[in-house]
């Protein structure tokens, strides 16, 4: 025989508005003493037999009542068999022999505490996330996993660990151009995290509404080393910008002197002037002017 799919799918349960059923049950309850009085006055054997049936019907009607709050659902099972889900609200009524398991459909927050994992380069990093989720399919959440809240918590941690291994913490020379990183590509990483979580949560009938990183840092044992590396990269980048600007300024100065015929410079004097200007413009300290009373050739 072919194996049957054990996954449950939510379907609507056959339930009713509870207010008419409650009114009918109360009416039968009030009718019972009236029947007892009539039977005591010689109303006949049928009235005597009607009393227990009336009480039984009253009990069944009242026992079948239950109440659902907004954004709450009830899974109905009859002798262990799933019969449907009621997503109504207010006073409801269903078969009194069914078991009503309530589930909240509200959005929930899951704060995943910072985890120590290895990024794509193998560097230890600490990463945490906040996940907003809700139950989408009540049948799957109740019957396909043992405890859907624990399932969500464990799978969220596993998804974050897997995600961290796919991205480097920060840019580097070993990364292809345009590749997203954990620190620089938050939008890309958040989207990948939502897709990873949704793929894992589908088995429990849970929908991921939002997921974002809430904590990202190097692990303490390499934090100081990586900080010095970032500082060195920042210094090199700043120096590169300074040199580019200085070269442009020197070029503009030489061109202006030449166009205005302020002074005629040969190649050696131009080289000396370029050297002096670059020293002045690129130095990170104040420069001291030197008055040259001679010439370059004496």
* pLDDT for the residue 5: 52
229-255 residue pLDDT tens: 666 666 677 777 777 777 777 777 777
> Considering the domain 108-218 in this protein, what is its CATH number?
3.30.479.30
* pLDDT for the residue 53: 83
What is the overall mean pLDDT for the chain?
81
How many angstroms separate the CA atoms of 166 and 159, rounded?
Answer: 11
How many angstroms separate the CA atoms of 56 and 258, rounded?
Answer: 113
Domain locations along the chain: 16-103, 108-218, 223-282
Predicted structure pTM score: 0.70
- Which residue would you say has higher pLDDT here, 93 or 221? 93
> What is the distance in angstroms between the CA of the first residue and the CA of the last residue of the chain?
107
DSSP 225-293: HHHHHHHHHHHHHHHHHHHHHHHHHHHHHHHHHHHHTS----HHHHHHHHHHHHHHHH-SSPPPP----
Long-range CB contact pairs, 50-55, < 8 A, 24+: 54/28, 55/28, 55/29
What's the pLDDT band for 55 if we cut at 50, 70, 90? Answer: confident
* pLDDT for the residue 200: 95
* pLDDT for the residue 252: 75
Report, as an integer, the average pLDDT of 267-296.
61
Report, as an integer, the average pLDDT of 140-159.
94
Report, as an integer, the average pLDDT of 163-192.
80
| Strand partners of residue 235 | none
What's the pLDDT band for 45 if we cut at 50, 70, 90? Answer: low
* pLDDT for the residue 235: 67
74-97 residue pLDDT tens: 999 999 999 999 999 999 999 999
Give the per-residue SS3 of 101-127: EEEECCCEEEEEEEEEEECCCCCEEEE
Report, as an integer, the average pLDDT of 257-271.
67
* pLDDT for the residue 225: 62
């Amino acid at each position: 025989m072919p194996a049957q799919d054990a996954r449950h799918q939510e379907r609507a349960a056959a339930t009713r508005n509870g207010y008419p059923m409650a009114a009918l049950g109360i009416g039968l309850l009030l009718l019972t003493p009236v029947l007892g009085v009539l039977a005591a006055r010689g109303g006949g054997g049928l009235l005597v037999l009607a009393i227990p049936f009336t009480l039984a019907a009253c009990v069944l009607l009242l026992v079948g009542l239950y109440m659902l709050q907004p954004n709450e659902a009830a899974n109905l099972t009859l002798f262990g068999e799933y019969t449907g889900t009621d997503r109504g609200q207010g006073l409801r009524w269903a078969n009194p022999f069914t078991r009503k398991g309530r589930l909240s459909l509200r959005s929930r927050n899951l704060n995943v505490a910072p985890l120590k994992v290895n990024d794509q380069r193998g560097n230890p990093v600490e990463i945490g996330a906040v996940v907003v989720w809700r139950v989408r399919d009540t049948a799957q959440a109740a019957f396909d996993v043992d405890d859907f809240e624990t399932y969500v918590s464990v799978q969220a941690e596993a998804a974050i660990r897997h995600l961290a291994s796919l991205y480097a913490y920060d840019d580097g020379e070993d990364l292809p151009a345009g590749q997203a990183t954990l620190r620089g590509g938050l939008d890309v990483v958040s989207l990948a995290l939502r897709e990873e979580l949704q793929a894992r949560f589908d088995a429990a009938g849970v929908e991921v509404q939002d997921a974002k990183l809430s904590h990202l840092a190097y692990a303490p044992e390499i934090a100081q080393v990586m900080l010095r590396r970032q500082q060195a990269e920042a210094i090199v980048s700043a120096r590169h910008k300074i040199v580019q600007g200085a070269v442009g300024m020197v070029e503009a100065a030489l061109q202006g002197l030449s166009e205005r015929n302020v002074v005629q410079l040969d190649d050696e004097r131009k080289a000396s002037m370029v050297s002096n200007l670059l020293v002045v413009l690129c130095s990170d300290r104040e420069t001291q002017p030197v008055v040259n009373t001679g010439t370059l050739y004496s």
